[in-house]
Amino acid sequence: MPVEDTTMLFDRSRKSSGTVVNVNGVEIGGKQLVVMAGPCAVESRDQILETAHAVHRSGARILRGGAYKPRTSPYNFRGLKEEGLQYLAEARDETGLPVVTEIMDARHLDIVCRYADILQVGSRNMQNFTLLEELGRLQIPVLLKRGMSATIEEFLCAAEYILSGGNQEVILCERGIRTYETASRNTLDLNAVPILKRRTHLPVIVDPSHGTGYSWMVPHLARAAVAVGADGLIVEVHRAPNEALSDATQSLSPDEFDEMMKTLGPIAEAVGREIDHLEPAI
């Protein structure tokens, strides 16, 4: 049964101007579109530093990188843990880019909060209510990704868990849902963007990397996300996508990312937004 929005803290009517989440001066939910970019996982010091500089040059405003990775098989690379967080912090110091990284377990909160500027709750944890309650008690921005099988109703209710604990800094992220379609990794539900923007004051960003699973599709869906009103994007970029230890097929090279960024400006402008990367592609 649909929730009565007006009783909920996420409801648009509670803040008609929209929530702007300020992360060390980067405003998410304002006129400026915010692109978060970086590798799926931090793999080495060198890798994250090089990638951070590259995405920064192309106009990214937040650096992404997983240190605690949820993987389908326990035998796959599951992240560098604290070592990865240290490299992310070093990349932030060098570039000035705030860092978003995943929090998988409330037991890791102390350590992850020491390094992160935004805590990402992954799709698999969207309904980990004890984790959401813990995040509600903190005053740190949370990037909440939609569960891969979650309805928009369930997604909003998950955000409410954080808001109702007292943490108002929630950013929603559409990252694709599971459908019967197997031609792409997930089905990126772009309907969710205008629906969420209508129902909630929270900023909404889109992840075209997990939403599609294929690097060649990412720029197309990134442009579509901007056109449909997203407040920003989160995009996986690897310096050598073929060698990535996770999500290789969907990772853009730094050059591909740069090309994509150049194409977003005119679309942003057409929908009354601005974006940092400068010249439109010829």
Which residues sit at the interface with ligand PEP, rule CB under 6 A?
Answer: 40, 66, 70, 122-124, 145, 175, 210
Q: At closest approach, how far in Å is the CB of 135 from Mn ion?
A: 20
Q: At closest approach, how far in Å is the CB of 68 from Mn ion?
A: 12
Distance of CA 159 to the CA centre of its chain: 15
Tokens 């060649």: give the residue.
Answer: 216
Contact predicate 245/77, CB 8 Å? yes
Assess 247 for contact with Mn ion (CB under 5 A). Answer: yes
Assess 207 for contact with Mn ion (CB under 5 A). Answer: no
Q: At closest approach, how far in Å is the CB of 228 from ligand PEP?
A: 19
E-only strand ranges, the chain: 21-23, 26-28, 34-38, 62-64, 99-102, 118-121, 142-145, 170-174, 204-206, 232-236
User: Which option in ligand PEP, Mn ion, none does residue 122 bind, with CB closer than 5 to 8 A by kind?
Assistant: ligand PEP
What's the CA gap between 241 and 39, in Å, rounded? Answer: 9
What's the CA gap between 211 and 227, in Å, rounded? Answer: 16
CA dihedral angle for residue 31, residue 36, residue 37, residue 42, rounded to 10 degrees: 170
Tokens 């980067």: give the residue.
Answer: 26
User: Which option in Mn ion, ligand PEP, none does residue 215 bind, with CB closer than 5 to 8 A by kind?
Assistant: none
Q: At closest approach, how far in Å is the CB of 66 from ligand PEP?
A: 5
Assess 40 for contact with Mn ion (CB under 5 A). Answer: yes
Cβ proximity to ligand PEP: between 145 and 199 the closer is: 145
Given the rule CB under 5 A, which of 173-181, 193-201, 240-248, 262-270 is the region that contacts Mn ion?
Answer: 240-248
Q: At closest approach, how far in Å is the CB of 146 from ligand PEP?
A: 8
Residues that bind Mn ion in the complex, under the rule CB under 5 A:
40, 247
